[in-house]
Amino acid sequence: MRYLAEVQKKSGFMGGSRAEFKLLACERSEQNWSTVSGDELLPAPDDASYGAGSLVLIELSNGRQVQRHYEAGRQLASILQNFSSLNKKFKTQEDEIEQWKESLTYQSQALNQRELELDTREDEVKQAADELTQLEEQKAELATFRTALDEQRQDYERKNSELEGAWAHVNGEKLKLEEHREAESAQAGLDSGQTLKLR
């Protein structure tokens, strides 16, 4: 496993100094680092000729022994560059997500407006259906009224025909009566003036 460490110098016996690696961060996976808690120090190999405060990358065995070590400057710059690229990529993706959110919000508002329009249209259709039902009922009532009116007209025509027949009969009888009176007047020797006066 690879670690980022800081070189520390510890004064030893007879004025000598001994290098140690203070672990700062651990590489969990590619481009994924996490800080190391505590102040864990590991003894540096004899061939570690780094100055105090230098940053190095070290690789440890399962027994926590330093297997490899090298300056972290170039690697750290590459890691930071990759991190910067990833940060820009995340920023771009974040902007795209915000645009998607705005687009979805707009689409949601448009759908809500459309749903409201459909509800209004549904109410209008329902009202029109109710009005059509009322018109059908009125049409049925009008048909019933027309049927009754036709029956009344037929009854009126029948009674009128009967009345005309009765009037014709009365007029015939009246004519017969007048003819009978004229005949009687002629037999009695009355002139037309006397007959008129008699009438």
Number of domains in the chain: 2
- End of a domain among 71, 105, 127? 71
Maximum mean pLDDT: which of 167-171, 180-184, 195-199: 167-171
Task: Quote the pLDDT of residue 74.
Answer: 84
User: What's the pLDDT at 17?
Assistant: 74
Does some domain include residue 116? yes
* Same-domain check for residues 63 and 80: no
User: Going by C-beta distance under 8 Å and a sequence separation of 6 or more, which residues neighbour residue 181?
Assistant: 195, 198, 199
Structural domain range at position 18: 2-71
Verify that 64 and 80 share a domain, yes or no. Answer: no
- The answer on 61 and 13 residing in a single domain is yes
Same domain, 91 and 63: no
Nearest to 9 by CA among 41, 35, 37, 36: 41
Express each pLDDT in 16-75 by its tens digit. Answer: 678 898 999 988 887 788 888 888 888 888 888 888 888 999 898 888 888 888 888 888
Is residue 154 a part of any domain in this protein? no
Give the SS3 label for residue 79: helix
